[in-house]
A and B are shown apart, each in its own frame.
Chain A
Amino acid sequence: MPSSEVKQRLAEDVAIWQADGIIDAATRAALRARYDTPGFELVTAVKYLGIAGGALAGLGLLGLVAAVSESEALASVMLAAVGALLAWAGLRLGRDPLARYVHTSKVVVALGVVGWASGLGLGANALPLDDFQVSFAVGLGVVPLAIAVAYREKNWFLLLLATLALFHWVGSWSGMLGSSTYSFEIQDPRVMAVIALGVHGFGVWHERRLELPGFHLVYQVTALVYLDLSLLILSILPTSTAGIYVAVLTIAALGQIVAGARLKSRLIMGFGVATFGVDLFTRYFEHMWNVVSLGLLLVLGGAMIMAFGVLVERSCRAWAER
């Protein structure tokens, strides 16, 4: 019988085979039984209960930071201590010899790291430092430590938090302005794009060389988000260089589709397709006043891309029939 990883993949894919009209319901039921899909068991409930609780309590910690920020020194010591305690407790739970807390221990560790980071942030804010020094000090005190703990404990969720923190540390910011406007900014998109490319390369290497489930996905997903967003921002502002970066963004999107085909990665290919879609959407609304030239450019450019796709499929069929 195939390994659990293969069985899990097939158990999920047979639903898509049926939805795509390849197999009927009876075959799907037979295949589901064969791969013994676990369904919604207690372990799934526990996992999501823990994650939901962790998310809410994490928000509570952030709310606490907002509430006590008027007495920063005291609050920072308190928060850092609570965070360290929670992280220590989570690590202890994770090492339970009877493996009774496999899922929830990870949530507790992640909560501890959020508390630790909040405490450091408040403490640095209380010192006579400027914003740059504060963010540098907090990043230095949190990111390497969180990555080290994530590897030691094989906790991909903590690695995700650490990687997001890393990109925020490099210089990104997001938030909700007013009641319905979400905003996202990157301080220096050129630097961010280079770092994101490096992190993505590390993620690809990680997938081939190291057997740590989920870790390579964390690197690849976060890096592609920041790479594509950096290039998108550069394709809009500053206007003096936007034209160059429109070309870079389009090439990067098509390049991700090609790389996805080479590495057989649906993830990379999906990012390429989505980025190309956003690029097209933006250019359409940016230049729609310039009707004839943009319309013709899109018709001809699209026809060229399509012709390449047709040639690829023709080669594909020719090889299959050999």
Chain B
Amino acid sequence: MNKLGLHRVVRSEIDLLVAQELLSPAQAARVRERYPTEPWDLSSLARWFTVLGAVTSGAGLLLLGAQMDAWRTLLEVVLVGAVVGLLGLGRWLARSRRMTRSGAALELLAGFALQGLTIALATHYSVGTKNWPGLVGVDAALLLALAYVLGNRLLLVHALVNLFFFVGGETGYVSGWGMYWLGLTYPLRFLGISLAVLGVAWLHGRLGRDAWRAFSRVYLHSGLLGVHLSLWFLSVFGLLGADHPGWSAGEGERVAFSALWAAASMASVWLAGRTGVATLRAYAVTFFVIDCYTFYFQFVAARSAVLWWLHLLLVGGSLVLLALRVERRRAMMSASAPRASG
């Protein structure tokens, strides 16, 4: 079935759910928007163009706040005006014009302007401590508070990105080398924080106001990404990460973390089946592929002389044989079940 056909069937099913009073008309209207049958999916187009525009402009504001040396006071006044003006405009569009997506994106841009302002103020009135991670932490707290006050998920994403850098995440691009890089100081700490974030996701799904319940998905994505990234780093660098140049993780330690990573992926697939949360499975499958790829280059290609491949052939081959036997038994049991019941 193509997408248009699928969306038509889903929409008629939604109408049926309203008729059976499983969904209210207001709920149905919000759900129906997600399955467009019109020639263009305008609501998605509006969402992504407003969000990408806000992020692009926001990156420019951060750059100006951090690096512009001239007209500092003027820049600070402009940024204060931008924060207040964008927040007001965003609220007005969302409430008076019912343009919720544009309103949310303008609030996101206000968040970027606020961060640009804190950076500009910190640079202007610097006391020489050079504690830039502390400033990022302050920004994370400000944005988090703003996200909860306004009930805006985009601001929550922005706050969590800042939190990532505050607790030791680093990323960048080396111009001329075509090289992107990502760093995590103490990946085990990230693992703990990410598990806590998943706990917050669960709590938001269960408790809290309706506006905040929608935050659950943001925390879920952040937590899952953090768990898999930290296990990835642990499988490559070992327990202490790359922050201890003298430390070289033993092969056994890295193999153990690779196995733990694979076990976490499998557990996520199981949990996805139990809870119906497909996001768990999507992350698990994607990172399981990366785990296998990394494992191959770390241990198989580098250690072919000591018959790693033979171990893999034996273990993998045994799993396939086991799957064959289980599937055969299951098929035979389901074939005999109707006969027995009949």
Contact = CB atoms under 8 A, between A and B. Distances in A.
Contact of A53 (B13, B58, B272, B318): B318
A19 B214 contact: yes
Given A62-B300, A98-B332, A261-B40, A22 B31 contact: yes
A305 B51 CA distance: 9
Given A49-B326, A179-B236, A261-B40, A63 B301 contact: yes
Interface string A172-206: 00011001100000000000000000000000000
B315 A56 contact: yes
A298 B63 contact: yes
A151 interface: no
A310 B97 CA distance: 11
B220 A19 contact: yes
Interface string A11-50: 1111111111111010100111010011111111110111
Given A19-B216, A313-B99, A57 B43 contact: no
Interface stretch (A126-134, A136-144, A274-282): A274-282
**Which secondary structure dominates chain B's binding surface?**
helix
Given A49-B322, A53-B317, A264-B36, A2 B266 contact: no
Contacts of B332: 98, 100
Contacts of B93: 310
Contacts of A255: none
Contacts, number: 357
A237 B64 contact: no
Nearest to A263: B3
A134 B28 CA distance: 58
Interface string B288-324: 1000111111101100110111111111111111111
A61 interface: yes
A278 to B, nearest CB: 8
A9 B68 contact: no
Contacts of A31: 17, 22
Given A44-B273, A66-B300, A306-B54, A317 B97 contact: yes
A305 B180 CA distance: 26
A237 B179 CA distance: 12
Contacts of B323: 46, 49-50, 53, 103-104, 107
A88 interface: no
Contacts of A3: 1, 9
B63 A101 contact: no
A60 B318 contact: no
B67 A309 contact: no
Q: Which 3 A-B pairs have the closest CB atoms?
A: A63-B309, A53-B319, A306-B53
Given A22-B31, A50-B324, A309-B51, 17 more contacts: A3-B1, A6-B9, A41-B273, A48-B269, A53-B322, A64-B310, A101-B324, A101-B327, A101-B328, A107-B323, A176-B294, A280-B59, A288-B63, A296-B64, A299-B64, A309-B52, A312-B46
